[in-house]
Structure 1
């Protein structure tokens, strides 16, 4: 059943609409991430759920009860902040048990629940230390234990891993998943980091400019993005400019400067003849070969020159300046091309997504 229901949530700051008619549900026990760039409104949504901001319009129901207007301390919600907000003058155990003490939980029960949380986050024996004696990852786990110890219905996360290095961040991703599964607590996680969101989430809510762009599983958003923005934001993508030359029941024909190519209808969406479009393809679906390019039916192909190469273990990521489309990224397994090599670049029409081209304002807005 749905634990959290958000309906028509809107937040205005003067003339700025930070969140615009946002609606989504979270099921009990889910791990859901709100993902978006700076200024997309994701942290503002989180703060409204937590009770730190009041919505201009809309409803928020938690476990069937409306919580708009209720102060934060009356909501069955805890939050892990970006800066963690641990009390430096308290021990680890005192930090974890702080909320229990404020709620009047007896000392013996408080001690027992704190020890149980320390064991859960694999910090047994650390209770007498202070936060300054812990590593960054250990402090993250203390903050998580503090958020979980009073067994809230929902735990909110405001980019708590953003300050960690990549290796520690990956470790904490695994820890978050483990702890969420073991406690069966519902997590709502806000981040701009697609790597974190893809790694931990059951579902994603993608925001841009205050509006929801798509909601779905990680696989849905990666494999079937509904817009150019989602395709570009969830993973890496190449986008080449093209124009629609024909629309039929079985497919859409586009010309990206190398001749007409038929694309499956379900990959093209709602487009019409003469529409300017972007043809999007993931780097791992782009192939490189020795020239000349041998375009076959249903294939986009051009020639180009390798300009850079990034070795990534089993794969190499090449940047190729093509004759037809400019710079294209190709992720090739076992590739052996060198800088300045002439190559043929191609990909199958069945692997693309086609979107009507839309101009996006470049205003450099920063924010929540």
Structure 2
């Protein structure tokens, strides 16, 4: 039995459907992130689990018990808010022990448990300080300690790292993982930041426009996105337009402006049919660059186009190139070789087995770009 079971969860605010029939489970000891753009419904889901919003429809069960209708203080959950909500007039130790005091836990036990939590978050000796004397990262740790001290079944996070700079945010990601592992507590974490979600999560729940787009491990969502939206939202992706000229159980023939390319059926979304206009998506790290003068490419075996290097960004172990291709407009390639310079002619290629192909549907695309009538080698939509 799952620790948290959410079924048919819906929330309406007048005519606005903020959350639309969402289902998911969280297992005991998991670190699960709900990821989506602003307005996707992710924070509303979290607030319904916490008890700060009542669902219009659906059920929420914690440890097998229905909790819809119960006030927040009767749910075995704690929440770490975006603004942390530390009491400025209380010491660090008093902030951590506040919930225990409300439960009637004796003072000596409160002090002992607060000190244990300070050790857990590596703030030993900070108990007598006030929140104003702490850095942003230290305040984050105090808020986490306060949420963990009464050993809840589930801890909820509403974008608590969004106010931190990138270096501190990366440090806190590591700390969250360490603390979650050491305490064996279940975390449900809401964020719009894909970098955070990819770094800390066992599984991801991707929402858009109130509905579930995909649920799975980080690897599943990155390597096998279920939709054009997920492919674009989880990591970087190149998208070129094409048309399916033939389709059977084993493969599809796709014309993306450079001739028909056979693509494995496993790379094609289930709703794609022969004759459909499609988006052909490929990750930058799957794109290869070669010197245009020396490259021998069989256009029937790979997606390929000549082009000119627009820019190069050194990434440490890799270099990220933007190439103005003759067939598709700008394509990004993340490669180990640092062999090309701006203005140089190159050939861009990628293998058919590395693509994901989705039926073109403007309503599902984050940029709302125009659908082209045919794959004539024109520009890709804006990224």
TM range (shorter): over 0.9
Equivalent residue, structure 2, for 1:337: 340
Q: Is the 8 A contact 1:32 1:189 kept in 2?
A: yes
Equivalent residue, structure 1, for 2:153: 153
Equivalent residue, structure 2, for 1:276: 277
Equivalent residue, structure 1, for 2:141: 141
Q: Deviations over 1:137-161 (max 9, x none)?
A: 1110000000000000000000000
Equivalent residue, structure 1, for 2:380: none
Equivalent residue, structure 2, for 1:224: 224
Q: Distance in 1 between the 2:229 and 2:366 partners?
A: 16
Q: Distance in 2 between the 1:287 and 1:203 partners?
A: 30
1:49 Cα offset (Å): 0.3
Q: Distance in 2 between the 1:187 and 1:11 partners?
A: 22
Q: Distance in 1 between the 2:78 and 2:118 partners?
A: 17
Q: SS at 1:339's partner residue?
A: coil
Scaled by the length of structure 1, what TM-score is found?
0.97
1:356 corresponds, among 347, 356, 359, to 359
Q: SS at 2:242's partner residue?
A: strand
Scaled by the length of structure 2, what TM-score is found?
0.93
Any gaps of 5 or more consecutive residues in structure 1? Answer: none
Q: Is the 8 A contact 2:229 2:365 kept in 1?
A: no
Q: Deviations over 1:274-333 (max 9, x none)?
A: 100011000001011111553324200001111111111111111111110011011011
Equivalent residue, structure 1, for 2:62: 62
Equivalent residue, structure 1, for 2:290: 289
1:339 Cα offset (Å): 1.1
Equivalent residue, structure 1, for 2:326: 323
Q: Is the 8 A contact 1:304 1:321 kept in 2?
A: yes
Q: Is the 8 A contact 1:314 1:334 kept in 2?
A: no
Equivalent residue, structure 1, for 2:301: 298
Q: Residues 6-155 of structure 1 correspond to what in structure 2 (within 5 A)?
A: 6-155=6-155
Q: Is the 8 A contact 1:294 1:301 kept in 2?
A: no
Aligned length: 364
Deviates more, 1:213-222 or 1:292-301: 292-301
Equivalent residue, structure 2, for 1:234: 234
Do structure 1's residue 309 and structure 2's residue 312 form an aligned pair? yes
Q: Distance in 1 between the 2:297 and 2:80 partners?
A: 53
Q: SS at 2:314's partner residue?
A: strand
Q: SS at 1:96's partner residue?
A: helix
1:335 Cα offset (Å): 2.1
Equivalent residue, structure 2, for 1:191: 191
Q: Distance in 2 between the 1:206 and 1:111 partners?
A: 40
Q: Is the 8 A contact 1:283 1:330 kept in 2?
A: yes
Q: Distance in 2 between the 1:312 and 1:114 partners?
A: 43
1:361 Cα offset (Å): 7.3
Q: Distance in 2 between the 1:94 and 1:114 partners?
A: 8
Alignment root-mean-square deviation, CA: 1.2
Q: SS at 2:70's partner residue?
A: coil
1:65 Cα offset (Å): 0.6
Q: Distance in 1 between the 2:258 and 2:366 partners?
A: 34
Q: Is the 8 A contact 1:238 1:329 kept in 2?
A: yes
Q: SS at 2:363's partner residue?
A: coil
Q: Distance in 2 between the 1:226 and 1:339 partners?
A: 35
Q: SS at 1:2's partner residue?
A: coil
1:362 Cα offset (Å): 8.4
Q: Is the 8 A contact 1:52 1:72 kept in 2?
A: yes
Q: Distance in 1 between the 2:364 and 2:20 partners?
A: 17
1:62 Cα offset (Å): 0.5
1:363 Cα offset (Å): 9.8
